[in-house]
Amino acid sequence: MGWTLLNENGLMFLLRWLHYFFGVIWIGHLYYFNFVQGAYMAEADAAAKTSLQTKLLPKALWWFRWGAMGTMLTGVLYLGHRIMQFPTFHDYLMTSYGLTISIGAILGLTMWANVWFVIWPNQKVVIQSANQVSQGGSALPSAAASGARAMVASRINTVFSIPMLFFMGAASHLPFAVREESKMTLFWIVFGLIWAGFTFWGLKGKAGFLTTLKNTLIAGFGLILAIYILLEVTL
């Protein structure tokens, strides 16, 4: 008799469990940065801000970015295995699971890219600047702009995280009726435009509406509603 965790189903379960484990680390830190640290930094004095940026922030960002990496790698491996069970990728997308998990995966992969290629590089500048200040030097001229860019990308990730979690959960618990006559091309075009708009906002835009946490949450739940209605209309 073989060990349950060592057969194919067991290994896929372990991948899924690790995906959850790393995801809790990643999204937990994302929500800490947006729900807690941002409000604290708005009220803290200069010395407290410098202390946080030099002592706490590097440690939190380590768990944040590597939690994101672990989530991405386990998710890609698990999803790749699921896709290989179908003759073609189109067949996979024409299932309720394939459709909704792909929505979540696109949002999640974008969030991962934001962490590694936008938030982390810009936060390194902020940390370097804070270290210079703590040692009696001057702040880096680019630190303020880098902090602002990291903040906008983090807000976009918070917005994306809400529908990402919704549709990943929907993959197993909220089946949609996908039919051959469904207007899937129209769905993916409209979804792609929405995704591109938010992604560009994170890369180039200012915080604007997303300056407050309240509005960020409104945008996230609004995005769930928009995608859900789009699905109902096109399926």
Q: What is the pLDDT of residues 139-184, one digit of tens each?
A: 999 999 999 999 999 999 999 999 999 999 999 999 999 988 889 9
In the prediction, which pLDDT does 180 show?
A: 85
Examine the pLDDT at 1 and tell me if it is beyond 80: no
Distance CA 167, CA 182 (A): 18
Distance CA 200, CA 179 (A): 32
Among 99, 109, 102, 106, which residue's Cα sits nearest to residue 232?
A: 99
Q: What is the pLDDT of residues 78-130, one digit of tens each?
A: 999 999 999 999 999 999 999 999 999 999 999 999 999 999 999 999 999 99
DSSP summary character for residue 180:
T
In the prediction, which pLDDT does 113 show?
A: 99
Task: Please calculate the CA angle 189-194-197 and round it to the nearest 5 degrees.
Answer: 120
